[in-house]
Structure 1
Amino acid sequence: MVNDPLEKFQHIWIQAQQSGLNRYRNSVCISTIDQHGFPNARFVDLKAVSDVGCIFCSDLSSTKAIEIQNHPKVSLTAWWEHVAYQIRIQGICQRISDQQADDFWQQRPRDAQLTSLTFDQSQGITSVDLLESRFLHAKKQDDQQYLPRPDTWGGFELIPTKIEFLAFKDTRLHIRHQYIWNEHHQIWEVQLLQP
């Protein structure tokens, strides 16, 4: 059994990226807590898995980013049926460095960069026609030059305190391993859970 659950997570994530027909193989569900104490879940692209956590990016003025800043306890759920795994992570989110954000910004498709520069994520707009016309206008103005990352775009790293792996079995005897970080001893404690 792997002692480092992030290493195990990264291995499964790579498998999930390399197999199956799902167009959104990098998608994971991030759940935050809103201003009224309700969970608020949405899917994001997982950008990287580091030695200490899972990285995703966002507009820093979005609902998601504001909720993370107000309540940094966040959960991540990955449902990768094509590799027979569900993974749940709980932890604390922190902002990534500007250099890391710059690197991830440069990896984004051009249209994704233009979308981030053109719109105020999570804010209302009067019509789909206006949405489309603003984007088409931005594309027409695009001179294909370098687009610097706006200050309003960055990323977060979820530093896990608990990770649970559920390996699906046809028999329904799913194998569940739960890893809990022991801060005092600086080790991951692992337990096999009943399905």
Structure 2
Amino acid sequence: MNKEFQDLRKDYVRGDLSLERLDADPLAQLDQWLRDALEAGAVEPTAMALSTVTPSGAPHSRMVLLKGLEKDGLVFYTNYNSDKGKAIESNPQVSVLFFWPLLERQVRVEGVAQKVAPEVSDAYFASRPRESRLGALASPQSSVVESYEYLEKTWLKLKEEYEGKEVPRPAHWGGYIIKPHIFEFWQGGHGRLHKRFRYKWEDGNWIIETLAP
């Protein structure tokens, strides 16, 4: 099996990237690449691997969905009592990674996660499907539960309880905005000469650096 993995090869030939073609604003560049991924038919184009550090110092990664690209950062939503929420409470430094195989592109972002205003979380929560809102109430995310049947029963009980009523946003559920200080844009290149450009926030400006692959 190891030999099979070792022999896997793929050359990257779909696209190119140059310093001259990069937007001076990395958030604008990310917005364009997200739109490219959507247009290309990427599965879950807004999916990103979120990495946090636990209170004990261990790294922890999981997939989340980008739900907003604002002028000052990237927004996602979760349970504040989840493993990721506890990690962010202890250490707000986070990293996210987008990967779009169809376009042979990836983007890495590092920054500080902060909770969004409650009214922002309220508005997004109200826009979610009713079943998802009930799920946020029913699931003690990251906690050990006796069974999935228990969760299903809790969900059905809440569905009955809120029949004909608005499902309120629980206080432990809401959004974070990642305020970035580093972006890295990666475009696969022929012969493993991948194109890598890093944006760094220095003295109130974005500085772009070219990185070796």
Shared fold, TM over 0.5: yes
- For 1:7, the equivalent position in structure 2 comes to 28
75-84 or 11-20, which moves further after superposition? Answer: 11-20
Q: Distance in 1 between matches of 2:152 and 2:135?
A: 11
Q: Equivalent residues in 2 for 1:1-195 (5 A)?
A: 1-22=22-43, 24-182=44-202, 184=203, 186-195=204-213
* 2:79–2:173 contact (8 Å) kept in structure 1: yes
CA distance change for structure 1 residues 95 and 181 in 2, over 3 Å: closer, same or farther?
Answer: same
**SS where residue 67 of structure 2 aligns?**
strand
* 2:186–2:196 contact (8 Å) kept in structure 1: yes
Q: Distance in 1 between matches of 2:183 and 2:167?
A: 37
CA RMSD of aligned residues (A): 1.6
- Which TM-score applies when normalising by structure 2? 0.84
Q: Percent identity?
A: 30
- Deviation for aligned residue 1:140: 3.9
Deviation digits for residues 28-53 of structure 1 (CA, Å, limit 9, x no counterpart):
11111002101111111110111111
Q: Distance in 2 between matches of 1:149 and 1:128?
A: 22
Aligned pairs, how many? Answer: 192
- Deviation for aligned residue 1:171: 4.0
Structure possessing the higher radius of gyration over alpha carbons? 2
- Residue segments in structure 1 that go unaligned for 5+ positions in a row: none
- Which TM-score applies when normalising by structure 1? 0.91
Deviation digits for residues 65-124 of structure 1 (CA, Å, limit 9, x no counterpart):
111111011001111112321110111111111121112112222211111011211111
**SS where residue 150 of structure 1 aligns?**
coil
Q: Distance in 2 between matches of 1:43 and 1:169?
A: 26
- Residue segments in structure 2 that go unaligned for 5+ positions in a row: 1-21
**SS where residue 198 of structure 2 aligns?**
strand
CA distance change for structure 1 residues 104 and 18 in 2, over 3 Å: closer, same or farther?
Answer: farther
CA distance change for structure 1 residues 7 and 42 in 2, over 3 Å: closer, same or farther?
Answer: same
